[in-house]
Amino acid sequence: MNDEMKSTTIAERVSRRSFLEVGSVALATAAFGGLAAQAQQREDTQKAEGDHSSSNPGQENDVLLHQNPNTNTPPPTDHGDIGPIWYSFDLARKRVEEGGWTHQVTQRELPPSTDLTGVNMRLTAGSFRELHWHTADEWAYMLYGNARVTVLNPDGTVFIDDVGKGDLWYFPAGFPHSIQGLGPDGCEFLLVFDEGLFSEDNTFLISEWVAHTPPEVLSKNSNLGPSDIAKLPKDELYIFPADLPRSLAQDRDAVGGRSVQAAQQYTFKMRAMTPTKKTQGGEVRVVDSHIFSASKHIAAALVTVKPGGMRELHWHPNASEWQFYIAGKGRMTIYMPPGRARTMDFTANDVGFVPAVAGHYIENTGTTDLVFLEMFKADKFEDFSLNNWIRRLPPQMVTSHLNIDEATIRKIPAEKQEVLMR
């Protein structure tokens, strides 16, 4: 028996039942070198739920504790630190203005998320998110209600459309656009930007530009008289109330009709589309540049996982993943080398983050549908299924790695399910 085998055997003998027992053999196993020490370290952190070692006689924040049981007391398979993977819009300060509000979860709140940033915004009926543009591309999903959006193309054509719950829009960086809440009760939406440090408080605003241009220049540029210029806003508008617009057809006609109408479609009905994949466990709707050509730099999937179902063990080869939880309860474990894993619970209005190419799953831990969005800074949605990978390997190769025989291997689903039900 060589040293490595010896230490493995001793490590295996270490009791998984009692943390105290583990402690008593710590010195003995550590003496057998790296592997045993590693196993020892793992055992030390594997304090199963219910073990007296994890009891907490002191203070607890009951609401957080019950919402995040896996965060508070991780499963024994968790190990080490992979950095922050969770934030909630309900912890993000709201900027409330007359006509609505906004708050954001950026790289400032979730430091590893350098690719994408999210903003959650509410506009009451008639209210505007002021005419503006910015350095990042903007992807949006309507969570509630109705809105009218406009975006101008560099060739002078304009896109005007109405969006409702479950619809998307995509505005490229630098393209000037507007959002207005419609009846009966305005709207709420999620915005996703392809810059980690993007900030909604740092966009280019029409009001600020005219306020910071000498009046004689405005006069020369736009043919405005002194009394016209006196009426212009002196400060940012940002979110502000206004009258409801006329009908979509009337607004389109008012700017010049078909002759100025954009050829590019900037909205997409995501929730209404036929699922990209539908299984017993749920549904996945994938929208990327293949089916929504405007969406060049952000790919997305809308995932529904039924109670008892699970978004299978998988990873994405091309980007980190930024998640927004729309409904239900779930838990996710992310695996990262070397030997690290973190499990956390997620609920509606939470943001999840998966580092690029890290392995993960999302399990429905509630009694209702778990619905969430997966977003990637990429032109296409791509993932690998662990099951599918195992089944595309020669069985002997799998047996060599996982110690399971061919009959057992055949029980593993051969095809990628995306969402599965046991």
User: Buried b / exposed e across 68-77, counting CB within 10 Å, b at 16+?
Assistant: bbbbbbbeee
According to the binding rule CB under 5 A, does residue 138 interact with Mn ion? yes
Partners of 283 in the β-ladder: 278, 304
**x/- string (CB under 5 A) for Mn ion, residues 325-344?**
--------------------
User: Closer CB to Mn ion, residue 283 or residue 321?
Assistant: 321
User: Closer CB to Mn ion, residue 39 or residue 371?
Assistant: 371
Near Mn ion by CB under 5 A, which window of 1-9, 42-50, 320-328, 411-419?
320-328
CB of 315 to Mn ion, least distance (A): 7
Angle ∠(404,409,410) on CA atoms, nearest 5: 150
Please state, in angstroms and rounded to a whole number, the distance separating the CA atoms of residues 349 and 362.
16
According to the binding rule CB under 5 A, does residue 350 interact with Mn ion? no
Query: Is there a catalytic annotation at residue 109?
Result: no
Near Mn ion by CB under 5 A, which window of 3-11, 149-157, 214-222, 318-326?
318-326
Please state, in angstroms and rounded to a whole number, the distance separating the CA atoms of residues 260 and 252.
9
Task: Tell me, by CB under 5 A, how many residues bind Mn ion.
Answer: 2
Q: Please tell me the number of Cα atoms within 13 Å of 131 on its side-chain side.
A: 10
Cβ neighbours for 143, distance < 8 A, ≥ 6 positions apart? 120, 165, 188, 189, 190, 326
CB of 132 to Mn ion, least distance (A): 6
User: Closer CB to Mn ion, residue 144 or residue 384?
Assistant: 384
Residue, CB closest to Mn ion? 138
Near Mn ion by CB under 5 A, which window of 116-124, 256-264, 274-282, 313-321?
313-321
Residues 222-281 contacting Mn ion, CB under 5 A = none
User: Closer CB to Mn ion, residue 22 or residue 152?
Assistant: 152
Look up residue 195 and give its two tokens.
């810059």
Lateral strand order in the sheet of 117-123 = 95-97, 100-105, 117-123, 187-193, 138-145, 167-171, 267-269
Near Mn ion by CB under 5 A, which window of 32-40, 135-143, 272-280, 410-418?
135-143
CB of 63 to Mn ion, least distance (A): 28
Please state, in angstroms and rounded to a whole number, the distance separating the CA atoms of residues 160 and 194.
23
Contact 135, 173 (CB under 8 A): yes
CB of 134 to Mn ion, least distance (A): 6
Please state, in angstroms and rounded to a whole number, the distance separating the CA atoms of residues 108 and 125.
31
Active-site entry in 188, 195, 374, 418: 374
Contact 243, 139 (CB under 8 A): no
CB of 354 to Mn ion, least distance (A): 6
Residue 89 CA: distances (Å) to CA of 108, 170, 363: 13, 22, 21
User: Closer CB to Mn ion, residue 125 or residue 332?
Assistant: 332
The secondary structure of the chain in percent helix, strand, coil, rounded to multiples of 5, reads 25, 35, 45
According to the binding rule CB under 5 A, does residue 115 interact with Mn ion? no
CB of 314 to Mn ion, least distance (A): 6
User: Closer CB to Mn ion, residue 22 or residue 328?
Assistant: 328
Binding stretches for Mn ion (CB under 5 A)? 138, 321
Give the catalytic positions in this structure: 374
